[in-house]
Amino acid sequence: MKRLIAYIMMAVGLSSSAQTALPDSTQSVSHYFSVSANTRVRFAPGNLQYQPQTHLWRFASAQTETIGWQESYSYSKYRGWIDLFGWGTALAPNNYSDRDNEYAFVDWGLFCGLPTGEGRQWRTLSLDEWTYLLSRRPHARRLYALAYVCGQYGLILLPDNWQRPKGIYMRTGPKEEGTNAYNTERWKVLEAAGAVFLPAETRRAGTQTQGSAGACHYWTSTPHPKQEGQALYLLVDQYLPQIKPAPRSQGLSVRLVQDI
């Protein structure tokens, strides 16, 4: 816990000079996603990324973009970008400790001063919100699909008011991988119609890569209800989305949303 406090103090000291390079969401407000009976959101235009040397935050330049992990990324003076974060590490993106009690959730969207657009705050979805989005909103199972987009495997999320573009085939719901595949041209059509893509990526354990890039691993804002050292995340493999627990020290992907 002392190390966690030290991380927070250091990060707060840097926050006044921290920069951001995050565009507003490219997604039209007309393309919305229900995450509860009363809450609609839109998604950020790409996964969250951070540059250790400059303390600069940004969104990936494309929804299909991932970075993954190499040990050199853990250096505090690293000039490149990282996109696998321990749970709630908005104050300490470079925390790679394997001590799970050193991780307390601070929402990336609340701390990093990301451009909001029309006063809307970026934030991380909770367990209940992910669950509602994928299984409880009207026609939920018709509104997601496993796919290869520009050669990258992942999960496509479709807005509540989805209308399939003419000439685009999509098999939705919990199906086996390999059914849907879209090149750059077709993905641009889907993206313009409101589709969101969560790319699959490896996980980080300490400063080591864990697993392959055959599944999506995205943090929720929800801690494990019974095990203090764990938090809950969204896992999507070749079958269906599900919520799983993981050590808070693991490095997973982050996709932020804005309330509409």
Quote the percentage of the chain above a pLDDT of 70.
Answer: 85
Total residue length of the chain: 260
pLDDT of residue 6: 46
Q: What is the pTM of this model?
A: 0.88
Give the H/E segment covering residue 148.
strand 144-149
Element (H, E) at 232: strand 230-236
Lowest mean pLDDT among 61-70, 108-117, 145-154, 164-173: 108-117
Query: What are the distances in angstroms from CA 234 to CA 22, 124, 208, 257?
Result: 24, 12, 21, 15
pLDDT for 111 equals 76
Query: How sure is the predictor about 74, in pLDDT bands with cuts at 50, 70 and 90?
Result: confident
Q: Are 167 and 233 in contact, with CB atoms under 8 Å apart? A: no
Contact 48, 83 (CB under 8 A): yes
Cα–Cα distance between 141 and 81 in angstroms, integer? Answer: 34
Q: How large is the average pLDDT for residues 129-133?
A: 98
Query: Which tokens belong to 257?
Result: 């949303």
Distance (Å, rounded) from C-alpha 38 to C-alpha 44?
A: 20
Tell me which of 34-48, 82-96, 200-214, 218-232 is least confident. 200-214
What pLDDT score does 178 carry? 57
Find the range with the poorest average confidence among 7-21, 174-188, 234-248.
Answer: 7-21
C-alpha span between 194 and 26 (Å, rounded) = 10
pLDDT of 173 reads 86
Give the confidence band of 22 by pLDDT, cuts at 50, 70, 90.
very low
Q: What is the mean pLDDT of residues 108-120?
A: 74
Contact predicate 88/48, CB 8 Å? no
* DSSP 8-state assignment for residue 178: T
Lowest-pLDDT range, 57-61, 119-123, 137-141, 145-149? 119-123
- Give SS3 for 226: coil
239 band by pLDDT with thresholds 50, 70 and 90: confident
Q: What distance in Å separates the CA atoms of residue 142 and residue 136, rounded to the nearest whole number?
A: 11
- Comparing CA positions, the residue from 166, 41, 204 lying closest to residue 109 is 41
Q: Is the pLDDT of residue 196 over 80?
A: yes
Q: Return the pLDDT at 7.
A: 42
Token reading at 188: 């641009």
Report d(CA 157, CA 227) in Å as an integer. Answer: 30
Is pLDDT at 145 greater than 50 in this prediction?
yes
